[in-house]
């Protein structure tokens, strides 16, 4: 039995059907009208069956991902989280000519310093086969006359509970772009009046990650009050960047 429950015979039949309909396109251009009506009815019946399969598959996939709480966790992970923007619909779903500070929800905001904004954003359903997030964020940039474009995500208060300089914070991104874009990630940790910052370039192509070792941050374990992640997109002009997923997690550093 092949993966997905299809036998070799099932796959051969499917391939034969594909060939039949490719040939039917050419036949439809020349056959008589009576035969054309019969072919049209046959095609509509097949399309109805295919649409029914797609409808059931979409419903199951969306149901499986409905709450957005399914996360990949490494060993020793003691906290993991996906921001609300990738879990649930937001209002409004889109922003055209995004302002220099555009608030997307209570956790996430977009920042830039362009004189003329040619930046649009849109949240939509995520039906990517490899993605666990129910929602995604499309970011389209045409002209860009600024010096930076960033997305800021505030970490929830529970991320700070029990957090110490022995922890490593991990960022996982699922990114699709029309042309390759470099994404820098900056972790900001506020303790009292001081803000410790660690910058890492995300590595990978579609699945990207960055890890922040708090042992090198100089952060005060006893006074951590607030944390947030900034994502900086380098040279974003004339590009469409889709963030299929974004998750953060933490684990204690291995001691030797």
More confident residue, 188 or 46: 188
User: pLDDT tens digits for 123-133?
Assistant: 998 877 777 89
Task: List, for residues 208-236, the tens digit of each pLDDT value.
Answer: 999 999 887 777 777 788 999 999 999 99
pLDDT per residue as tens digits for the range 79-106: 999 999 999 899 999 999 999 999 999 9
DSSP-assigned letter for residue 253? P
Inter-residue contact 66 to 231 (CB < 8 Å) = no
Span of 21-30, 56-65, 117-126, 169-178 with lowest mean pLDDT: 56-65
- Which residues lie below 8 Å from residue 222, measured CB to CB, with a gap of 6+? 191
Q: What DSSP designation does 251 have?
A: E
Rounded CA gap, 229 and 150, in Å?
A: 10
Joined tokens for residue 76: 């020793």
Pair 141, 155: CB distance under 8 Å: no
Higher per-residue pLDDT: 71 or 171: 171
pLDDT band at 41 (very low <50, low <70, confident <90, very high): confident
User: Tokens 């039995």 label which residue?
Assistant: 1
- Three-state DSSP class for residue 189: strand
- Which DSSP symbol is given to 203? B
């Amino acid at each position: 039995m092949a993966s997905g429950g299809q036998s070799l015979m099932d796959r051969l039949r499917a391939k034969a059907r594909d060939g039949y309909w490719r040939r039917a396109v050419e036949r439809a251009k020349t056959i008589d009208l009576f035969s054309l009506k019969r072919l049209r009815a046959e095609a509509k019946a097949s399309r109805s069956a295919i649409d029914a399969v797609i409808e059931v598959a979409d419903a199951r996939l969306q149901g499986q991902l409905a709450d957005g709480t399914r996360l990949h966790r490494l060993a020793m992970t003691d906290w993991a989280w996906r921001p609300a923007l990738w879990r649930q619909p937001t209002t409004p779903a889109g922003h055209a000519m995004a302002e220099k500070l555009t608030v997307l929800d209570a956790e996430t905001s977009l920042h830039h310093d362009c004189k003329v904004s040619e930046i649009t954003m849109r949240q939509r359903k995520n039906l990517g086969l490899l993605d666990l997030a129910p929602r995604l964020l499309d970011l389209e940039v045409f002209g860009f006359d600024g010096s930076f474009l960033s997305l800021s995500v505030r970490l929830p208060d529970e991320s700070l509970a029990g957090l110490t300089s022995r922890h490593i914070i991990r960022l996982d991104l699922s990114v699709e772009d029309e042309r390759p874009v470099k994404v820098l990630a900056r972790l900001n940790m506020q303790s009292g009046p001081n803000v410790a910052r660690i910058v890492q370039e995300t590595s990978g192509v579609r699945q990207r990650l960055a890890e922040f070792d708090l042992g090198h941050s100089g952060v005060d374990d006893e006074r951590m009050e607030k944390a947030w992640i900034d994502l900086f997109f380098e040279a974003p002009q004339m590009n469409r960047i889709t963030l299929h997923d974004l998750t953060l997690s933490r684990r204690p550093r291995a001691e030797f």
